[in-house]
Structure 1
Amino acid sequence: MQLDFISYTGRLPDETHTHAQIVLALEGEMEIEVGGINAKLDVDHCAFVPSGVIHSQQVDKQNKFLVVNCNESELCHSIVDHLTERIFLSTALATRQLLDFAATAQHEHIPLEKISEHWVQLLLASLSPSALSMPWAVFSNMVNRVENSLDQPWSVRMMAEQVGLSQSRFYAVFQKRFKKTPQEWLTGLRIKKAQRWLALTDLPIADLALRVGYSDQSVLTRVMRRTTGLTPAAYRRQQQEFWPKKQEQ
């Protein structure tokens, strides 16, 4: 697989390739025709060009695209069928974040071959139909387990194992379903639980930190200040003016 950053000018004549292409916009727009079907590509819309299919492009303004060249034989058949059936797709949040990462890598002069293999797998996962169709029950069990054991050292790998996915696929599927990364979601759970105990109990902050999964009070303080603007002690003083104290186990 190969990643190419390309800026197009004017109208390009009809062409075909012996490999497939995924065309993703980083900046600007493109009028493209794939197999006789016309569409506009921009940062919210991308295209899959199957091998051997005639396509042409028209560009009038400044633009920058990332083109992924890949052999269809290297891709999962279900993904190829999904992309071929649709040709034009909406660019999901996870896909846009992957594009931002690739653009940053190029800006930092990181050789694309160093990231291409894993990056492309994440991209395909973000475009995969399973990223949208996985039953909620699969995630519901994982969510319940994490919520009921926040004191455990949950990692992306551990959560992925709960739903039977690889880490990369889990990350992409999770972002599509929850609109945030697994780490952001987990931090949110821990801080909400900490806030509840701070408001309703007299538990020492050091003990409370351990109960919500932080190694010590200083880590909880740092994360809580970053996410809420308040330290645990300041939040407790603020909230206990309004909430009755109640020891909660």
Structure 2
Amino acid sequence: MRPHALLNLDIRSYGGVSAPHRHDFAQLVLPLRGTLAIDIAGREQQLDAFRAAFVETGLPHSQEGDRANRSLIVDLDLTQLAPEVADRLVARPFLPLAPMANRLIDYMSLVAGGDGAQDDQLEHWLPLLLDALVQTPARPQSRLAALLGQIEAAPGQPWTTERMAERIAMSVSRLHALFRSELDTTPAAWLSELRLRRAREWLANSDASIAELAFRAGYSDQNALTRAMRRTTGLTPAAYRRQSRATDRPE
């Protein structure tokens, strides 16, 4: 049976500045790509791959998105959640996204973008997501922030771990330790996820050839991107592009 706390699940994109509005249900806004500025009762934050938002029932909120934003929207009945989970969400409207939460969000976005989520998938997914969100502690500013910004701006560059370490004047072993402590991953794994995320964004929002996008994202050729896409999404780049454009629903 569908988890009764979950009222609706949808993928949406936002453009321009929306007028303040309210819902008679609570809502999770989970970014998939791009950035989204959201104002919740006078508190404003930028949502991206590292931050989601929780909008409490009845609170006024508005949003403004960039041209490539896309988010997984989860409507919730707060009265059906465990009180301790509801209390933590209400107390913390802007939620840091740990790698585990991002993986759960990516998984359900692929399911929702296909033939629709099945009840048994939702039944297992929602508790895992809520646990990942409420258990994640707020993180201080990452000491890797400057490096991550450089890589995100140019994912197609030859980013070896040696080059990454050199950019922030530390040893490769120390770089690995920082990635593990701050992001719970390795430099190579983080870079692979970034390149795949960028490739998916560009496939959905650009008419450039797949070979060109593969090169821009840092893959050696189109075949390398195809293998990565098949391994992580089960789709070829061309199939992913068709599916993304068929399921994108501007609000």
Q: TM-score of the superposition, structure 2-length normalised?
A: 0.50
Cα deviation, residue 179, structure 1: 4.2
Could you tell me how far apart the structure 2 residues matched to 1:122 and 1:14 are?
Answer: 31
Q: Could you give the per-residue CA deviations for residues 165-210 of structure 1, whole angstroms, max 9, x where no partner exists?
A: xxxxxxxxxxx99948xxxxxxxxxxxxxxxxxxxxxxxxxxxxxx
Question: 1:111 matched to which residue of 2?
Answer: 117
Preserved CA contact (<8 Å) 1:3 1:112: no
The one of the two structures with greater contact order (alpha-carbon pairs below 8 A, sep at least 6) is: 2
Residues 1:4 and 2:10 aligned together? yes
1:71 to 57, 66, 77: 77
1:57 to 63, 71, 80: 63
2:94 to 80, 88, 100: 88
Aligned residue for 1:67, secondary structure, equals strand
Q: 1:179 to 1:16 in 2, by over 3 A?
A: same
Question: 2:130 matched to which residue of 1?
Answer: 124
Could you tell me how far apart the structure 1 residues matched to 2:112 and 2:58 are?
Answer: 29
Is the radius of gyration larger for structure 1 or structure 2?
A: 1
Cα deviation, residue 19, structure 1: 0.5
Preserved CA contact (<8 Å) 1:16 1:54: yes
**Aligned residue type for 2:122:** S
2:45 to 34, 39, 45: 39
Question: 1:184 matched to which residue of 2?
Answer: none
Q: TM-score of the superposition, structure 1-length normalised?
A: 0.50
Preserved CA contact (<8 Å) 1:22 1:48: yes
Cα deviation, residue 60, structure 1: 2.7
Cα deviation, residue 108, structure 1: 4.0
**Aligned residue type for 2:13:** S
Q: 1:42 to 1:59 in 2, by over 3 A?
A: same
Preserved CA contact (<8 Å) 1:47 1:87: yes
Preserved CA contact (<8 Å) 1:26 1:63: yes
TM-align CA RMSD: 2.4
Q: Could you give the per-residue CA deviations for residues 188-247 of structure 1, whole angstroms, max 9, x where no partner exists?
A: xxxxxxxxxxxxxxxxxxxxxxxxxxxxxxxxxxxxxxxxxxxxxxxxxxxxxxxxxxxx
Q: 1:85 to 1:62 in 2, by over 3 A?
A: same
**Aligned residue type for 2:123:** E
Q: 1:97 to 1:52 in 2, by over 3 A?
A: same
Give the stretch that moved more between structures: 108-117 or 12-21. Answer: 108-117
Unaligned runs of 5+ in 1: 133-175, 181-249
Give the stretch that moved more between structures: 63-72 or 106-115. Answer: 106-115
Preserved CA contact (<8 Å) 2:98 2:183: no
Cα deviation, residue 91, structure 1: 0.5
1:14 to 15, 20, 23: 20
**Aligned residue type for 1:118:** H
**Aligned residue type for 2:38:** I
Could you tell me how far apart the structure 2 residues matched to 1:123 and 1:83 are?
Answer: 12
Q: 1:97 to 1:88 in 2, by over 3 A?
A: same
Aligned residue for 2:88, secondary structure, equals helix
Identity over aligned pairs, percent: 32
**Aligned residue type for 1:87:** P
Aligned residue for 1:15, secondary structure, equals coil
Cα deviation, residue 55, structure 1: 0.3
Unaligned runs of 5+ in 2: 1-5, 138-180, 186-251
**Aligned residue type for 2:68:** Q
Aligned residue for 1:53, secondary structure, equals coil
